Amino acid sequence: MSAVGVLVMSYGTPDSLEGVEAYYTHIRRGHPPTREQLEDLTSRYEAIVGGVFPLRENTNRQVEALQRTLDELAGEGRYRCYQGLKHAAPFIEDGVAAMAADGVKAAVAIVLTPQFSAMSVGGYLKRAREEAERHGILLAEVESYHLHPELISALEKRVKGGLEKLGADRDGALVLFSAHSLPARIVEMNDPYPEQLLETSRAIAEAAGVDRWQFTWQSAGQTGQPWLGPDILDTLESLSREGTKAVLVAPVGFVSDHLEVLYDLDLEAKKRAAELGIHLERIDMLNDDGEYMNALADTIVKAVD
């Protein structure tokens, strides 16, 4: 019997600074960025850890760790993981084609982000589904796992560890959960994304015994249309006006160290916080954390059953 394929999908990142233009063009659905937009994005990549692309290595490590976890859970050979990226090679379609070439007949698709939105996870799953149909692969789809107990437990530990980083400032500190903004029209579409993010945040706060917390958006695009707000930079200003002196950011819509965390939070938000007299720290990202891998593996096995 052939293995059950596991299509592990993630956002993708360029593999070099020369690759940023093609990557950005893909994100913009084939429309190349202007020179100004390209320079802006390139400079953000250059600003984080010297122009390397941590998301690529982190996704590789996550997929390897998930394979090991599935082997331990279900026995070697039962599941075989394939990587499929949204905006870089190996693309989602490449991952499905690799499964087909290996003779995989049944597979599960899962995305390395816990909450569902038709505009994010929905897009990954649609591409996976269409390619699987082309190859005659039966595909089970995981839409979300945002309340999985092991995910919440892993994040609870990170919030507790993050509060320690605030040292003497932790008394009276506020935990600021965050996620990537999306165009505000998703609200009219009754999209579950905002509610699922609040559910994840609430569950972590309860588990960690945190009373003072809020949710905010980050990393909104510049498209001329309204995006979900408030943005973290505005939230920091409101908090400063209310007298908050210490903030722990917990980006619960992301699972890896990458540009939106290392630039938007660690450089941009931290700078704004410092200007406002706020001590800002961030929780460690999950990356290939054991409990996160267990949450993924358990979700995958249940999707197959």
Flag whether 11 is marked binding: yes
Indicate which single residue of 5, 95, 251, 253 sits in contact with ligand FEC (rule: CB under 6 A).
Answer: 253
In the bound state with ligand FEC, the residue whose beta carbon lies nearer, of 27 and 100, is: 27
Tell which one of 3, 13, 82, 176 touches ligand FEC (CB under 6 A): 13
CB atoms near residue 206 (< 10 Å): 13
* CB 18, CB 122: distance < 8 Å: no
Between CA 235 and CA 253 the distance in angstroms is: 17
Closest by alpha carbon to 107, among 132, 139, 85? Answer: 139
What is the C-alpha separation between 214 and 235, in angstroms, rounded? 9
- Applying CB under 6 A, does 85 fall inside the site for ligand FEC? no
| 258 has binding-site annotation | no
List all residues 6 or more positions away from 111 whose beta carbon is below 8 Å from its beta carbon. 9, 10, 120, 121, 124, 125, 142
Shortest Å distance, C-beta 105 to ligand FEC? 28
Binder among 127, 146, 158, 180 for ligand FEC (CB under 6 A): 180
Report how far residue 116's alpha carbon sits from residue 95's, in angstroms, rounded to the nearest whole number. 21
Residue 123 beta carbon to ligand FEC: minimum distance, rounded to whole angstroms = 8
Q: Is 11 in the site for ligand FEC (CB under 6 A)?
A: yes
Please say whether the beta carbons of 272 and 233 come within 8 A.
yes
Pairing mode of beta strands 138-141, 106-111: parallel
Region binding ligand FEC by CB under 6 A among candidate stretches 63-71, 75-83, 93-101, 252-260: 252-260
Q: Which of 80, 127, 148, 258 binds ligand FEC (CB under 6 A)?
A: 258
The DSSP 8-state label assigned to residue 133 in this structure reads: H
| By the rule CB under 6 A, 28 interacts with ligand FEC | yes
Of these, 4, 6, 8, 55, which contacts ligand FEC (CB under 6 A)?
55
Q: DSSP secondary structure string, 136-202?
A: T-EEEE----TT-HHHHHHHHHHHHHHHHHTGGGGTT-EEEEEEE--BGGGTTTT-SHHHHHHHHHH
How many residues make contact with ligand FEC (CB under 6 A)? 19
Nearest distance, CB of residue 164 and ligand FEC, angstroms: 26
Return residues touching ligand FEC (CB under 6 A): 11, 13, 24, 27-28, 41, 53, 55, 113, 120, 180, 182, 221, 223, 253-254, 258-260
Query: Which residue positions form the known binding site for Fe-coproporphyrin III?
Result: 11, 28, 44-45, 124
